[in-house]
Amino acid sequence: MEIWINPACSKCRSAISLLDAEGADYTVRRYLEDVPSEDEIRDVLERLGLEPWDITRTQEAAAKELGLKEWPRDDTARDRWITALAEHPKLIQRPIITADDGTAVVARTEESVRDALSR
C-alpha cells in the first residue's frame, strides 16, 4: 500500500504511527514534493469512489484564491477541479492510503486506517 502524506500534518503522523504499530508494509509519498499528476488523481478518485471536490481542502488559502467554493460540483467542472488539485497539491485531503486490493481511503481516523489495513 501507499500513503500520501504531508509530514507537517498530525493526522498523517497518526496514520503512519498506526501503520508502523501494525507492522504494515507501505510506501510513503510526500505528495507536496512528489506531486501527483492529473491521471494519478483520477485513479485515486476512482479507487476512493469520490469526486475531486470531496477530497479538496476548501479552507486552504489557495482554495480561497481560486474561489473553489463557488465552482460547480458536477461533471462539467470535474476536470477543472482535478487540474486545481494537481497544480495546488496542498488542496488534497490527507492522508490517503491506496490499499493492496485496488481501493483507497482518506485515512483521517484510526478506523479508516484500520479499514485500509484489513483490505
Residues forming the active site:
9
Contact of 5 with 29, CB cutoff 8 Å: yes
